[in-house]
Amino acid sequence: MSTLEIAKNPTGDAICFETDPSRYRHMKLEIDGPIARIKLDVQENEGLRPGYELKLNSYDLSVDIELADAVNRLRFEHPEVGAVVIASAREGVFSAGANIFMLGSSTHAFKVNFCKFTNETRLAIEDATENSGQVYVAAINGTASGGGYELPLACKEIYLVDDRKSAVALPEVPYLGVLAGTGGLTRLADKRKIRRDRADICATLAEGIKGKRAVEWGLVDAVIPSSRFEAEVDSRARRIAGTGHADRRGIALEPLDPEVSADGVRYRHVRLALEPHSRVARLEVCVPDSLPRVPEDPASAGAGWFPLRAFREIDDALLRLRFNHPEIGLVLITTRGRIENLLDLDNQLVQHRNHWFVNEVVQHMKRVLKRLDVTAKSFFSVIEAGSCFAGSLFELAIASDRAYMLDADGVAVALSEMNTGPLPMGNGLTRLQSRFLGAPDQIARIPRGQALQASDAQQHGLVTAAIDGLDWEDEIRLAVEERASLSPDALTGLESNLRFAGPETMETKIFGRLSAWQNWIFQRPNAVGPRGALTTYGQPQGAEFDWRRT
């Protein structure tokens, strides 16, 4: 069985984003008390598709899916871990980064979505360090190049072997005519605060920087001789981890096992319906009629607990939409259930937030909503009879580009404390704060914990439009048809500009620059034309550039 379980189905070759350590092909996950080790051991012939070999621990999406799973699984299944060491299982090489021949043979949409996914994985590493007490340490026991260095840049501490040949490098500009696509340049400047001129040299020096110079410039935290490398990294990791989090007992993440058909994907709580002829999908979240109370030991609720299970399903659906259904341009979000059930659940999440398991569930919800924020699809929320846009699920409505609400008896929305802090966007603000950036006092006037009818929701600025029953179907149909008729390229730019009002952060810079730079550079002849740098890499003839600046 392959890592990704790529199976033929009526919708084409679909990528599955579920895996677990028993199916890893490219890395080893080891648990040693309070220490976890992720060892890269990429198998050359086990890539996502034929046509390239993953030499020198270079990676494609199949590798990063395993890494993303390991990072998330450590938080839920091994919460006792206090430090995570990322290393290479191979002597003399850490990672050569994203496989160049994979990039050269991929569609433009795949390349950009690949970079986006790897960015999200690295941000999850930083989030685990900050919010889960699992500090990531990079042990670079050989050259780390391109994405192979960007992965250590996501770690809290970076240690490089001092063997006179191992270096760290970001060679995308000189080698490929593109950029370090998974946040490398932004992390040099914003996270490690490397001086601008030194960062400029690092990003244009193909062979990279090694030894004491790498330490002096801040590219790594220390260099360690080969004879002491493993022992000193282990000692440092143990000092960081201490006794770990011995009071935490993890839970097993159950497989999602959705039903996949030509018409969509069906999970336990989520339905993804596809309408490729109209370029529209419908994403529905269904809240059970009864939700159990948080038990005395919250972790005993397990992986089937609604907020964890449902948001894992939403996450999987978003990834499938990105990679398997690029023709879908608009996603209509609907919900089903009782508002009071969601409000009661949210109160429990807030009350038990200090418990490690509840905290991890909330952190996971936050990351899934962030993934929605940066997904290159239009999102319209449709609030109608039977909807349950309340509290944490109301985040789906205010994360959407528009929210339409039926003005009829029994149709309501509601806010909870989950809307006012626990689920921030990448800009550090809540979605309410981002929505009311010009009128921050408005937020305090919106009632919490009570159902708001359409007129009240519109008065408080929570929905785009409240529409009466006579006009409902026609208004929604016209809005959908209009959106689906617009340029997908223009809409991606429009949405990226409008979704992140307010302060700039390292995270918003990474995704903003990814959308602007990579969407542009990955299509330019200097990179992907017949004589572009990415096209001619590894061939006798070099790249030919159009030297005009634009």
Q: Taking phi first (over 0 means left), then psi (-120 to 50 degrees means alpha), and beta for anything else, what does residue 442 get?
A: alpha
What's the rounded Cα separation, in Å, for the pair 105 and 535? Answer: 9
CA distance linking residue 296 with residue 293, whole number of Å: 9
Does the annotation mark 216 as catalytic? Answer: no
Check: CB of residue 179 under 8 Å from CB of residue 518: yes
Nearest CA to 76 among 296, 311, 303? 303
SS3 at position 167: strand
Asked whether 99 and 54 are in contact (CB, 8 A), the reply is: yes
Distance CA 114, CA 120 (A): 10
CA separation for the pair 193, 198 (Å, rounded): 10
Which amino acid, residue 472? W
Whether the CB-CB separation of 96 and 145 falls below 8 Å is answered with: yes
* Neighbouring C-alpha atoms within 13 Å toward the C-beta of 19: 28
- Helices then strands, counting H and E runs in the chain, come out as 22, 22
Any catalytic annotation for residue 172? yes
Nearest 5°: phi and psi at 281? -125, 155
> Is 67 within 8 Å of 23 (Cβ atoms)?
no
The residue annotated as part of the active site, out of 172, 395, 495, 507, is: 172
C-alpha to C-alpha distance for 461 and 404, rounded to whole angstroms: 12
CB of 386 closer than 8 Å to CB of 412: no
**Cβ-Cβ contacts under 8 Å for 323 (sequence gap 6 or more):** 15, 61, 110, 113
Q: Give the integer Cα–Cα distance in Å for 373 and 390.
A: 19
> How far apart are alpha carbons 133 and 75 in whole angstroms?
9
Instruction: Give, for 465, the enclosing helix (H) or strand (E).
Output: strand 465-468
The string over 459-494, giving b where at least 16 C-beta atoms fall within 10 Å of a residue's C-beta and e elsewhere, is: ebebbbebbeeeebeeebeebbeebbeeebeebbee
Residue bearing tokens 């002829």? 277
Q: What is the 3-state secondary structure (H, E, C) of 409-452?
A: CCCEEECCHHHCCCCCCCCCCCHHHHHCCCCCHHHHCCCCCCCE
Task: Report how far residue 161's alpha carbon sits from residue 223's, in angstroms, rounded to the nearest whole number.
Answer: 5
Q: Which of 150, 313, 360, 384 is catalytic?
A: 150
Angle subtended at Cα 233 by Cα 229 and Cα 234, rounded to the nearest 5 degrees: 115
DSSP 197-214: HHHHHHTT-TT-EEHHHH
Could you give the residue numbers annotated as active site? 150, 172
